Amino acid sequence: MAELFWTTVGAILTLSIYSFLYKDNPFYKFAEHLVVGVSAGYYLVIYYWNYIDPNVATPIFLLRVGDESIGFMSGQWWMAFIPGLLGILLYARFFPKIAWVGRWPLGIYVGGYAGLGISPVMQARVIRQLGANGLPLAGVDDPMAGMTNFALGIVIFAVTTYLFVVKRSIGAGNKIARVGAIVLAAVIGYAGYVVLTLLSNAGVVSMTNILLVIGLLGTLSYFFFSMRHRGILGGLARIGIIFLMVGFGASFGYTVMSRISLLIGRVGFLLHDWLHLVD
């Protein structure tokens, strides 16, 4: 009975949120404010019992750390007391007269966390990534070669079509010539694909690794602001934007899955846990 009651509560709240799809309304607002309060309360309690009680309150007031008793004013007592005091000082900001004291612990906190991150970020985001991208360009096993060469074939086709048709280097103003130009571009694209396949099968080049290198080069060039985007830099930045867009496309496609998953989870809750319509 209790379970049915609580599942129903969850279901009603779920439907209140979905009512937002029709339009903003009091049911939605009620649930929204309720969760603000409930989650703040939940976090407060969890922070207290998991951290503050065992690591601050118990050592300071009950003179215990883990299993052992500690002496008042002993080293371990100070180690709990000093950060506890600094933590309390953070709340000085709510009292205008002594608000400035609140900046002391904040300084330690902000500075400490800022410093902690610097070196691991350099290591993880810069050095390791450059290391992983400083790839051998030839003579390696390349499982992605097929798809890489196919994609490059399409790029060659697209670029030649652009040159022939849009830039009108071939068949200007003539419909049949234009079709012919596209066919010619397709042939060139296919020829490119065949040549690349032969080369990569022979192990002469690894186009996948070359693409990875060019992609990183292009992306970094795009975000380079100290020179105008002209000449080589302009070309690299143009390549960079292509890679960026494909990357964003991948993120978009993946994100769709994320949002749909959440919906599936909620529909599953309503149909299965609450109504027992499906098993």
Partner 1 sequence: MKLPGTACIAFLMLCACAANAQVDAVDVEEVLSMADARADSVPPAPPRDLSARDHIGDNDSGDRISVSWTLSPDDGGGEADVLGYLVMRSEAPDARGDTVGVVPAGTTRLVDDTAVPRTPYYYHVQAVDSVNLSEPATFGPVEGRSSFWQPRRTSVFVLMAVFFAMVITFTQLAQKGASLFIRRIPGLNAIEEAVGRATEMGRPVLYVPGIGEIDNIMTIASLTILSHVAKITARYETPLIVPTARAVVMSAAEEVVKEAYAEAGHPDAYNPDNIRYLSDAQFAFAAAVNGIMLREKPAANLYLGAFWAESLLLAETGFEAGAIQVAGTAMVSQLPFFVTACDFTLMGEELYAASAYLSREPKLMGSLKGSDWMKALSIALMAAGIIANIVGWTAFVAWFETQ
Partner 2 sequence: MDGRSLFDKILKIDRRWIFLLVGIAVVIPFFLPLGLPVVVTPPVQSLFDEVDRLPPNSQPLLMSIDYAPATLPELEPMSLAILRHAFERDVNVAVMTLHPAGYGLAERALLQAAEEYGMVYGEDYVFLGFQPGVSAVILSLGVNIRNVFPEDAYGTSLSQIPMMEGIRNFDDVPLAVTLAGWSAAEAWIYYAVEPYGQRVAAGVTAVMATDYYPYLGAGQLVGLLGGMRGAAEYEALIEHPDQGWRGMDSQSIIHMLIILLIVVGNVAYFVTGRKKKLVSQG
Partner 3 sequence: MRRQIPLMLCFIAGVFTAVQYFIPHPAIQDFQERFLAWLMTLLAFAFLLGTVSLIRLHWHKIRNKADDRGYSFVALAGLLVMIGFGFFHPAHHSPGSPFNTLFQNVQVPIEATMFSLLAFYIASAAFRAFRARTMEATLLLVAATIVMLGRVPLGELIHEQIPIATRWILEVPNMASKRGIMIGVGLGMMATALKIVLGIERAWMGGGD
CB of 166 to partner 1, least distance (A): 22
Nearest in space to 158 (alpha carbons), one of 189, 193, 119: 189
- The reply to whether 120 sits near partner 2 by the rule CB under 8 A is yes
CB of 268 to partner 2, least distance (A): 7
CB of 112 to partner 1, least distance (A): 16
CB of 274 to partner 1, least distance (A): 23
Query: Would you mind telling me the total number of residues written for the chain in this entry?
Result: 279
Residues within window 141-160 making contact with partner 3, judged by CB under 8 A: 144, 146-148, 151
Residues within window 5-34 making contact with partner 2, judged by CB under 8 A: 21-22
Residues within window 195-214 making contact with partner 1, judged by CB under 8 A: 213
CB of 26 to partner 2, least distance (A): 19
In whole angstroms, how far apart are CA 114 and each of 62, 87, 117, 228, 267? 34, 18, 6, 33, 42
Give the helix ranges, DSSP H, for 48-94. 75-89
- C-beta of residue 269 within 8 angstroms of C-beta of residue 14: yes
Q: What is the DSSP string of 170-231?
A: SSTT-HHHHHHHHHHHHHHHHHHHHHHHHHHHTTS--HHHHHHHHHHHHHHHHT--SS-S-H
Cα three-residue angle 270-272-273, rounded to 5 degrees = 75
Tokens read off for 82 = 């000093």
- The reply to whether 130 sits near partner 1 by the rule CB under 8 A is yes
Would you tell me which residues interact with partner 2 (CB under 8 A)? Answer: 21-22, 39, 42-43, 46-47, 50-51, 54, 65-67, 113, 116-117, 120-121, 123-124, 128-129, 131-132, 247, 250-251, 254-258, 260-268, 271-272, 277-278
- Contact footprint for partner 1 (CB under 8 A): 20, 24, 29, 32, 36, 118-119, 122-123, 126-128, 130-131, 133-137, 213, 216-217, 220, 223-229, 244-245, 248-249, 251-252, 255
